[in-house]
């Protein structure tokens, strides 16, 4: 067993992947709880897909993916706000129009003859290709995100549980929601390096959704979400190493397994109570 655990750690690529997934697990677990609580999961996933042209553009120009992803997210946010304001459509409609258009544009760019080899990693990630500079950037962004969450914890809590009560406490719900989406964007920028454009939403929403099933208090919920994200991430990387499967996809499968286990654990007490009532009656 010790050899089984230690063998992957003898490879620098695996160690860096484990560090990256641990950083991402902590950030996404914390931010994801607010995403689930504020019910903005669709917006969070859309931000990830909307940044795809920026990622492809960064790959084509040879600039850091973080820079291209940031530009892509800003462009997507501006387009969504503009369409929502001038078209009169619901926010979900505007998001759907912008995201599908931008994602299609990104695919066209990725299929161009000038596209470098391996550009498909932008879709599915490359955890085993994470370098030291990417780890440093992930850690720096993570510190910023966690610091903002700590500073605005009370305001997020107030709006998350009772949005209408915000103005009475001098809190602007719109500002808090925009702040949360900005934190989501930063988290996506970290996650897209390892999990790619298509899979990053899984670690942002999955652990928090699983934690919500077994905990109703925000503190234990965040701790549970972080643990689920980190454990599933580590398990996915080890599975990828021994089964020779894609690292990002293996992590997502592990996240799904954790969610199913949480759903089963949440259902057991309910069934037990129902059985007890039937027996007593």
We report the CATH number of the domain holding residue 56 as: 1.10.3470.10
Distance of CA 244 to the CA centre of its chain: 24
Least confident interval from 87-101, 149-163, 228-242: 87-101
Residue 34 lies in a domain: yes
Long-range contacts of 54-62, Cβ-Cβ distance < 8 Å, separation of 24 or more: 55/106, 55/122, 55/192, 55/197, 56/106, 56/109, 56/110, 56/115, 56/119, 56/122, 57/109, 59/115, 59/116, 59/119, 59/122, 60/109, 60/112, 60/114, 60/115, 60/116
Domain of 74 in residue numbering reads as 2-115+123-265
Residue range 23-82, pLDDT digits in tens:
999 999 999 999 888 887 777 777 777 788 888 888 888 777 778 888 887 887 777 767
Residue 275 lies in a domain: no
Residue 280 lies in a domain: no
Position 231 scores a pLDDT of: 94
Residue 277 lies in a domain: no
Contact 230, 25 (CB under 8 A): yes
Residue range 164-186, pLDDT digits in tens:
655 665 667 677 877 888 888 88
What percent of the chain stands above pLDDT 70? Answer: 82
More confident residue, 273 or 21: 21
Residue 271 lies in a domain: no
Confidence of residue 279 (pLDDT cuts 50, 70, 90): very low
Residue 172 lies in a domain: yes
Position 260 scores a pLDDT of: 92
Position 28 scores a pLDDT of: 93
Position 91 scores a pLDDT of: 60
Position 227 scores a pLDDT of: 95
More confident residue, 226 or 274: 226
**Total domain count, the chain:** 1
* DSSP character at residue 112: S
Position 233 scores a pLDDT of: 92
Confidence of residue 273 (pLDDT cuts 50, 70, 90): very low
Residue 177 lies in a domain: yes
Residue 270 lies in a domain: no
Average pLDDT over residues 248-269: 87
Backbone region of residue 62 per phi and psi (left: phi > 0; alpha: psi in -120 to 50; beta: other values): left
């Amino acid at each position: 067993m010790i050899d089984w655990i230690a063998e992957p750690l003898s490879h620098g690529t695996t160690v860096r992947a484990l560090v990256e997934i641990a950083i991402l697990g902590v950030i996404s677990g914390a931010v994801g709880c607010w995403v689930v609580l504020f019910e903005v999961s669709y917006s969070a996933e859309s931000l990830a897909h909307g940044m795809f042209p920026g990622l492809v553009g960064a790959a084509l120009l040879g600039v850091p993916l973080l820079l291209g992803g940031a530009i892509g997210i800003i462009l997507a946010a501006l387009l969504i706000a503009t369409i929502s304001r001038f078209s009169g459509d619901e926010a979900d409609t505007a998001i759907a129009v912008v995201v599908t258009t931008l994602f299609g544009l990104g695919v066209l760019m990725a299929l161009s003859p000038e596209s470098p080899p391996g550009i498909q990693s932008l879709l599915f990630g490359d955890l085993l290709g994470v370098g030291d500079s990417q780890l440093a950037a992930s850690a720096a962004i993570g510190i910023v995100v966690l610091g903002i969450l700590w500073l605005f914890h009370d305001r997020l809590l107030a709006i998350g549980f009772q949005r209408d009560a915000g103005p009475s406490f001098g809190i602007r719900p719109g500002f808090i929601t925009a702040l949360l989406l900005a934190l989501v964007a930063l988290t996506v920028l970290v996650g897209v390096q390892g999990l790619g454009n298509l899979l990053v939403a899984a670690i942002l929403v999955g652990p928090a959704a699983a934690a919500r099933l077994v905990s109703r208090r925000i503190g234990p919920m965040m701790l549970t979400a972080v643990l689920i994200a980190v454990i599933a991430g580590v398990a996915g990387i080890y599975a990828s190493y021994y089964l020779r499967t894609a690292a990002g996809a293996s992590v997502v499968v592990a996240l799904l397994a954790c969610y199913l286990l949480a759903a089963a654990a949440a259902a057991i007490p309910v069934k037990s109570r129902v059985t007890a009532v039937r027996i007593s009656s």
